[in-house]
Structure 1
């Protein structure tokens, strides 16, 4: 099981394109191995109602058979390496903390400003691994 003890994102609201800082403390109570089935829901507030963003080219409200395969193509940030935070499966038992956080530039011109909701539910070998929910505002 994975427990997200804290997650910080700044600035608030997030200005895109722009620089975003993310900090976190995550506890892996057990080792998480591939495959990690992941269901992602992303919704945008439209006139006060959250509307689901469909899955288009693996972006939006999508199902991933094994999120580990996506992570295998990601370059691990130097700050993660310095703090012993893995970027690929398996994620071994332990507490991983990166505070106050890591800053990076995000250039996503296609994301309209507004209020968003996102959730991810993860399972591995039919066992619940973890879930995360967040609300964010993009300017």
Structure 2
């Protein structure tokens, strides 16, 4: 997921960073390939994400958060393009190390059950999200689109400010979801800390379904 630096941070905190950033690079490569037209419908394994909503979940004293965030279409089909626009802010500079505590819950009837951390997915704590960003995009390598076009950084430190990401299309490649992420309703909360100070808290809710779908 700048104050728009918070976008790559938020995406990483939500465990989508490798897919989103890698997908943007993959999209650039695919644009150079010839288009293949299919003459009839064909089945493809796809994941749908729908009923997306978000909120800032921390106290009003938190120095960073999201002003607006729009993700479409509804449902989002993966693999495929997502359309995203965002406005984010931070009143303080964000410097390494930034710790992110993620809590992922799945609805079971009227209850919400915490999904454990397995292979760095689920309810996990990431002690240094800045190092994770560096591992996904090595320092010195250009930031992927659409960050590059809008002059948005993708490495720590991030300056204080308010940043806007205009509506942009990002390609998300096929994601092999772990077995514990089955069809259902989920909510995920990410809290960012710099030292002992809570910087931001973001909560997302969504529904997930996967299976064979027909494409024309």
Deviation at 1:131, TM superposition (A): 0.9
Give 3-state SS (helix, strand or coil) of 2:130's partner: helix
Looking at structure 2, the residues matched to 73 and 22 of structure 1 have their Cα atoms a distance apart, in angstroms, of 24
Match of 1:126 among 186, 196, 201: 196
Looking at structure 2, the residues matched to 15 and 119 of structure 1 have their Cα atoms a distance apart, in angstroms, of 22
Render the CA deviation track for 1:44-97: whole Å, top value 9, x for unaligned: 222342221111111111011111111112233221011122111111112221
Using the size of structure 1 for normalisation, the TM-score is 0.88
Task: Determine the structure 1 residue equivalent to 2:77.
Answer: 15
Contact 2:71 2:83 in 1 (8 A): yes
CA RMSD in angstroms, aligned pairs only: 1.7
Match of 2:185 among 115, 122, 132: 115
Looking at structure 2, the residues matched to 87 and 124 of structure 1 have their Cα atoms a distance apart, in angstroms, of 17
Contact 1:9 1:20 in 2 (8 A): yes
Looking at structure 2, the residues matched to 52 and 11 of structure 1 have their Cα atoms a distance apart, in angstroms, of 28
Deviation at 1:109, TM superposition (A): 3.5
Task: Determine the structure 2 residue equivalent to 1:137.
Answer: 207
Question: Which deviates the most, 109-118 or 63-72?
Answer: 109-118
Within 5 A, what are the aligned runs for 1:80-99?
80-99=147-166
Give 3-state SS (helix, strand or coil) of 1:58's partner: coil
Contact 2:79 2:171 in 1 (8 A): no
Looking at structure 2, the residues matched to 113 and 96 of structure 1 have their Cα atoms a distance apart, in angstroms, of 34
Looking at structure 1, the residues matched to 168 and 182 of structure 2 have their Cα atoms a distance apart, in angstroms, of 25
5+ residue gaps, structure 2: 1-62, 138-142, 210-216
Deviation at 1:25, TM superposition (A): 0.8
Return structure 1 stretches of 4+ with deviation > 4 angstroms: none
5+ residue gaps, structure 1: none
Looking at structure 2, the residues matched to 137 and 13 of structure 1 have their Cα atoms a distance apart, in angstroms, of 9
1:31 maps onto 2:93 in alignment: yes
Using the size of structure 2 for normalisation, the TM-score is 0.59
- Say which structure is richer in helix: 2
Looking at structure 1, the residues matched to 97 and 115 of structure 2 have their Cα atoms a distance apart, in angstroms, of 25
Q: Alignment length, in residue pairs?
A: 139
Looking at structure 1, the residues matched to 196 and 146 of structure 2 have their Cα atoms a distance apart, in angstroms, of 32
Contact 2:90 2:161 in 1 (8 A): yes
